[in-house]
A and B are shown apart, each in its own frame.
Chain A
């Protein structure tokens, strides 16, 4: 199984800051990674897929990059509504696996 290791597990930043979340795969996943945002009590929401493609309706301050086994989700200018937990997910092979999550808090 492909393990997805996300870091940091939590981050606290100010409005306007740039925030970067990293996900490392235990093997090459050929850019088959997605990122989700989940707010408390809500279902996850797809932000980015295939490493860097922004889902329709997602603000452009979100971006994804990476290749091979190392990938990042960047929030270019943190907004209050970005307070949430973020998860990566690989879709290179079954079983599909998620990272452990990164909780983003606003200072």
Chain B
């Protein structure tokens, strides 16, 4: 069974940093590209970043480019999102998702981790 478990969320002041983790199990992690998708309270879904299976292709939303860094460790079956220079508008639930192989559909999702940026 595919399982994705996010962690690392919390309350941080504007300008601060957080590192989110996504622990994967139930599939061969190194074979799949992954996404981070977020959702502000009461709002819709927003794609944040994608990373290919071998980390050779990485993409970011304009809203996080230069502040967030996606990475993965295939030996540890884990993906990460380093978030710096955090802003109030970064508040929301952050989901990691496994993509369908060769596509950018988010086929499996974690339960999400809440990030709150507030002074």
Contacts and interface: CB of A to CB of B under 8 A. Distances in A.
B111 to A, nearest CB: 6
Nearest to A97: B47
23 contacts: A38-B45, A43-B109, A43-B110, A44-B37, A44-B45, A44-B109, A46-B105, A46-B106, A46-B107, A49-B103, A49-B105, A50-B103, A50-B105, A89-B105, A91-B103, A95-B60, A96-B50, A96-B59, A97-B47, A98-B45, A98-B47, A99-B44, A100-B44
A97 B62 CA distance: 12
Which secondary structure characterizes the binding site on chain B?
Answer: strand
Interface in A37-56: 38, 43-46, 49-50, 55
A101 B46 CA distance: 11
B27 interface: no
A71 interface: no
Interface in B49-75: 50, 59-62
B105 A34 contact: yes
Contacts of B45: 36, 38, 44, 87, 89, 98, 101
Given A44-B106, A87-B44, A95-B61, 20 more contacts: A1-B62, A38-B45, A43-B95, A43-B112, A44-B37, A44-B95, A45-B109, A49-B105, A49-B107, A55-B107, A89-B106, A91-B104, A94-B50, A94-B59, A95-B59, A95-B60, A96-B35, A96-B104, A101-B44, A101-B45
Interface string A6-50: 000000000000000000000000001010101000011110011
Interface in A75-92: 87, 89, 91
Interface of B: 35, 37, 44-47, 50, 59-62, 95, 100, 103-107, 109-112
Contacts of B110: 43
